[in-house]
Amino acid sequence: MVEHSAQLVGISDEHRVLSGMQPSGDSLHLGNYVGALLNWVTMQEKYDAFFFIPDLHGITVPHEPAELRSRTRNTAAQFLAGGIDVERSTLFVQSHVPEHVQLSWILTCITGMGEASRMTQFKDKSAKQGADSAGVGLLTYPMLMAADILLYQPDGVPVGDDQKQHVELARNLAQRFNHRFGETFRVPEPFIPEVGARIYDLQDPTTKMSKSASSPNGRLNILDTDKKLAKKIKSAVTDAGTEIRFDRETKPGISNLLSIYSAVSGKSIDELVEEYQGKMYGHLKVDLADAVVARFGPIRDRALELLEDPAELDALLARGAEKARAIASPLLDDVYAKVGFLPSTRA
């Protein structure tokens, strides 16, 4: 059974956690839901939780403005429909809190060129785009990410394996600033919650389910229609033979379907394997399609309902930004004073 306890070792109930998810697609997919959103919903019950949509990161590569705006609202609606409660959590859009950019400039100025250029995602993305085509934002966005974290003085930052390097940079910059200018930032800990199954592409069960996958049929999206969800599952790649068992090496397709079924139903993989002894792959796919539709249908419908009233959705995000700025603004004032900026005369 997939447990979504999201307990962060060493983090007590009164401590703060922070996490975000880029609006890089029109819809969140099952991997986002299982790997992040389910954990966040549990975290908000235990911690002082801050969740945000990092739209500023979305312009480090060429983008369409209207598409970014739409995807930001879509992401917010799905967070809310998926269980984020604005009475328990602080939910906001990154660009609505200008302190993120203001602090990122300070942190950029204390980051070494070598340190920045060694960041794995910069090397990977700049290699794909070509050194002359890559924007400087690809080099500097890890400092913006560090600002995202440090502004809220979180005790823990739940991240995936691919983001640990960014949290490590935030820790290094916090320590460097504290050493040069006096104690200011809490040094956060990266936490990789041991929860949730790893969800793979339906068409290529050896690669992680991703928004950037070559085929959209490999992705189960929250905003997909019931019919489309069922069709994708029924056309999922399976393996040689007919036995339904979990074996990631020799039966990656069936193992992935079992992992997805476990994630959306709450049944353990062992229970599912026993339940489908002697049955065909088709039986598993039909029942899995029903389970996914039952889980995603209400979330999709609620998200679409929220999107029908963008003014109300924007108002919820504005209230979240106000709560976030109440934390971020005093911290930035302290930083500005310590680096020697003349005090502002603003009211």
Residues 6+ apart with CB under 8 A from 182: 338
Please tell me whether 209 is known to bind a ligand: yes
Q: Is 212 annotated as a binding residue?
A: yes
291 backbone dihedrals φ, ψ, rounded to 5°: -65, -40
Question: According to the annotation, is 208 in a ligand binding site?
Answer: yes
Q: How many CA atoms lie within 13 A of 56 on its CB side?
A: 23
Q: Is 344 annotated as a binding residue?
A: no
Among residues 46, 128, 164, 211, the one annotated as catalytic is: 211
Q: Which of 208, 267, 323, 338 is catalytic?
A: 208
22 is in an annotated binding site: yes
Known binding residue 287? Answer is: no
Half-sphere exposure of 20 (CA within 13 A, CB side): 26
Q: Is 199 annotated as a binding residue?
A: yes
Alpha helices in the chain (DSSP H): 30-32, 38-46, 65-81, 99-108, 113-117, 120-129, 136-150, 164-181, 226-234, 252-265, 269-275, 281-307, 310-339
Residue among 161, 194, 158 nearest 2 (CA): 194
Q: How far apart are CA 15 and CA 286, in angstroms?
A: 43
| Residue 211 is labelled as binding a ligand | yes
12 is known to lie in a ligand binding site: no
- Residues 46, 123, 125, 323: which is the catalytic one? 125
Consult the annotation and say whether 310 binds a ligand.
no
125 part of the active site: yes
Query: Does 285 qualify as catalytic in the annotation?
Result: no
The binding site for ATP comprises 22-24, 31-32, 160-162, 199, 208-212
The binding site for L-tryptophan comprises 148
Residues assigned a catalytic role = 125, 208, 211
